Amino acid sequence: MEIKLAKTAGFCMGVRRAVDLVLEVAQREKGRRIYTYGPLIHNPQTINILKSRGITAVSRIEEISGKDGAVLIIRAHGIAPDERKKIRESGVKIIDATCPKVAHVQAIIKKHAALDYTVIIAGDRKHPEVDGLWGYTKGKGIVVSTQEEAEKLPALEKVCVVAQTTQDTENYRLIIEKILQTHPQAVVFNTICSSTERRQEEIITLASEMDALFVVGGKNSANTCRLADLSRKQNTPTFHIETAREIQPADLAPYKKIGVSAGASTPNWIIDQVVDQLAETQSNPHPQMGFALKLWLWMVKTEIYSALGAAALALSGMRLQNLSVQINSLAVASLFVFAMHVINRLMSGKESGLIGSFREKSYMVNEKYYSLAAGVSLLSALALALANSLSSFLFMSIISLAGGLYNMKILPGFIRFQRLKDIPGSKNFFTAVAWGMVTSLLPALESGNPDKAAMAVAFFFTFALVFTRSAMSDIMDMQSDKLLGRETIPVLVGKEKTQILLKLILLILLSVLAVAAFAGWISSLGFFLMICPLYIWICFRLCDRKTGLSGAAVEGLLETSYIIAGFAVLFHQFF
């Protein structure tokens, strides 16, 4: 089955701006109660997350008590001038998140209403944006939704025509035609958002190419409903769903090519879950390849692939330092990484529900088994370390304790960062350090006489790969991380700057491997391992979710850089 994700799927500029603004206010105004004037966006799942962060939607200013300590955010749809005046007079602090495209339409209406024009608004009467626009007409506005309504307009001398920014472009064109037939002097503005136009054009094209189409978004979202209607008009089987849980395997049986689009209020993590679910249920014309792919994805989801990657990096770390391969050390690294990943996902999942994660369903259903497996793996890692030496056991005990404390509140309440997890960018740094310690420093410690230069290079090799891979995943999860208040590196500095930082780290790693191998600080394996940062460089394209790959496939491809390191060791042995 082919799955194609629309390039325009997900938040539009106005919605993204409003959500970012609300989250910024939530971070900055911690002493105030935060409200939005109506639901911030038409997506129930996002609204629930915002509510869990203390951001409440109200429909009337009277619902806010203690207005001096409150902040009210005007949503992207905007509001009427009279409403704004009423809110301002109440004493509530106002933050305006009105979409600039909507504000532009408001300005057009305000200008022409002042010039005594009758303003005709093409849109949905009950939509909050239209309600706000009508407020700027000074009572001289008319809302029309269909051609039939446009035909029934009374004789008017001065007419200005605008559209709701998410209006159907074809419907607006037909309404304009009807208006100009009876009011040729009308001044017409194309106020449909360019993002809306591109989204509608793409879904028409996608519907004509695909056997079926899934449109993802709130059932109360006008623009999402409009996308589903446009798809149906192309005679393409269309499924309007809010979440991946609504997908039924039987729905997919007759289709070989499935398209996915989403409304302007649909967050990326919900779209990603839909793509993941579709990828899971797809059939494969080659059963053996299909089984291998499903096995690989299962290993990624259950952290087994990460554990194998840790063993591969431990192997490369030993050989870079010219140490003999110790099976116990490989097992310790693998078991420790598996245990820490599962434990931290279980703990963080209780706070966030693992939203947007392809692991969500597996962890929710099998929480007890994951907990048991993590506990057994950690105890086994410590036991194997003790079998090696007491110093190895103490080393692993300290790292394990630090890993367990990562999610726990260990500092007083008056300090902003009460947990290591709360420190911005800490996840990437501490994860990379922990991997470097168990794959490079532990084997060196067990050798009894480590070469410090080789040990440093081996540590940096693992650190750079793991840090880069972790930050690349965070780029994919920026939107959900913002919603949950996670201050990851991409959230703090943005996608572009994060990619520049990661590419700089990879260039430094390539240089270190080449110089160290030439200088004889490490074995010639360093030349072979240069393929790992080069592979990750190629994978930067995967940070664009528009590739249409499932989350598990993307993460698996990123973690394959670790496996490649293991194969590089084997090739080095033969060449």
Name the residues annotated as catalytic. 129
**Residue where the block lists tokens 């105890």:** 379
216 within 8 A of 260, measured Cβ to Cβ: yes
Cα distances (Å, whole numbers) of residue 568 to 328, 458, 464 = 21, 14, 17
* Distance from C-alpha of 162 to C-alpha of 123, rounded to nearest angstrom: 9
Contact 108, 160 (CB under 8 A): yes
Give 439's DSSP letter: I
The tokens describing 328, both together, are: 């116990």
Q: How many residues are present in the chain?
A: 575
Its sign, for the CA torsion 217, 221, 224, 225, is positive
Q: Write a three-state SS string for 52-77.
A: HCCEEEECCHHHCCCHHHEEEEECCC
The stretches of 353-484 forming alpha helices (DSSP H) are: 360-365, 367-388, 390-405, 426-436, 442-447, 452-476, 478-484
CB burial of residue 63 (10 Å; 0-12, 13-18, 19+): exposed
User: Alpha helices, DSSP H only, in 91-219?
Assistant: 100-114, 128-134, 147-151, 169-182, 194-209
CA 258 to chain centre: 22
User: What are the DSSP calls for 336-386, one per residue?
Assistant: HHHHHHHHHHHHHHHHHTTTT-TTHHHHHHTHHHHHHHHHHHHHHHHHHHH
User: Residues 445, 455: contact at Cβ < 8 Å?
Assistant: no
User: Residue 105 corresponds to which amino acid?
Assistant: V
Tokens of 572: 């080095």
Task: Report the distance separating Cα 58 and Cα 38, nearest Å.
Answer: 5
Report the distance separating Cα 340 and Cα 406, nearest Å.
Answer: 10
Long-range contacts of 506-509 (CB under 8 A, 24+ apart): 506/464, 506/468, 506/533, 506/536, 506/537, 508/464, 509/460, 509/461, 509/464, 509/465, 509/533
Residue from 557, 552, 7, 558 nearest 280 by CA = 552
Assigned token pair, 64: 């806010």
Measure the CA–CA gap between 245 and 277, rounded to whole angstroms: 8
| Residue where the block lists tokens 């996670």 | 486
CA–CA dist 168, 490 (Å, integer): 35
Identity of the residue numbered 376: V
